[in-house]
Structure 1
Amino acid sequence: MQIIFEETWEATLSDQQKQAFIHQYETKKSVHGEFTATPILLKRKRNGGLAATVFLQNNRDELLSIREATVCVVNEQGETAAKETFSLSLDIPAFTATPWSFVFLPTYVDSMEEPTDGWKVIIK
């Protein structure tokens, strides 16, 4: 599976930043399924919000178009730490992954604990 960068990311990331994403993706365990979101970085914002940067992986043999996504961040105990619906215009080609960030407003964050590596991101 190869990594592609959405247009905005392609235009704004330096070659070094792109290589860092590629290297990080290579260190992640491959997740099987039609569509998966593998966390890269979960970070609490100063305003109480939460930023979730993930690899969106299209493991299907056709283009995946995402126009709306309900994104949940779940802690180690399986409790929802954040949940928000996002509108986006993202097309992920077959058998590729792309990094993407979801920024949750404070009103959609239900947990005050700091994110850990055990947290998951689920996209519906």
Structure 2
Amino acid sequence: MQIMFEETWDATLSDQQKQAFIYQYETKRSVHDEFTATPILLKRKRNGGLVATVFLQNNRDELLSIREATVYVVNERGETAAEETFSLSLDIPSFTATPWSFVFLPTCVDSTEEPTDGWKVFIK
């Protein structure tokens, strides 16, 4: 599986930042589901919102087009910590991973806990 940076990310990230994403992806456990969102960094914003940066992995042999996604952040107890629907225009080629950040509004965050490594991200 290879990493592809979306056009805006490709234009704004430095080579060093891109290499850091590539290195981090290489250290993640490979998941073989058709589509996964593997957390890279979950961070609470000062305003009470939440940022979930993930690798979106297309493990299918066809292009994956994402136009709308309901994203859930779930804590280690299986409770929904955040939920929001996002409009996107993202195409992920087959067998490719793309880093992406979802920024949750404070009104969509149901938890005051600080995110931990045990939190997961699900997309429908």
TM-score tier after normalising by the smaller chain length: over 0.9
1:21 aligns with 2:15: no
1:99 aligns with 2:99: yes
- Structure 1's unaligned 5+ residue stretches are none
Percentage of identical aligned residues: 90
C-alpha displacement at 1:32, in angstroms? 1.2
C-alpha displacement at 1:16, in angstroms? 0.3
1 CA distance for matches of 2:81 and 2:112?
8
1:50-95 CA distances to partner (integer Å, 9 max, x unpaired)?
Answer: 0000000000000000000000000000000000000000000000
Indicate the residue corresponding to 1:64 in structure 2.
Answer: 64
1 CA distance for matches of 2:81 and 2:33?
24
Question: Which amino acid letter does the alignment assign opposite residue 35 of structure 2?
Answer: F
Partner secondary structure for residue 94 of structure 1: coil
Indicate the residue corresponding to 1:12 in structure 2.
Answer: 12
2 CA distance for matches of 1:111 and 1:31?
27
RMSD in angstroms over aligned alpha carbons? 0.2
- Map 1:17-96; keep pairs closer than 5 Å: 17-96=17-96
Question: Which amino acid letter does the alignment assign opposite residue 80 of structure 2?
Answer: T
1:15-34 CA distances to partner (integer Å, 9 max, x unpaired)?
Answer: 00000000000000001110
1:85-113 CA distances to partner (integer Å, 9 max, x unpaired)?
Answer: 00000000000000000000000000000
* TM-score, length of structure 2 as denominator length: 1.00
- Structure 2's unaligned 5+ residue stretches are none
Question: Which amino acid letter does the alignment assign opposite residue 86 of structure 2?
Answer: F
Indicate the residue corresponding to 2:119 in structure 1.
Answer: 119
Aligned residue pairs total 124
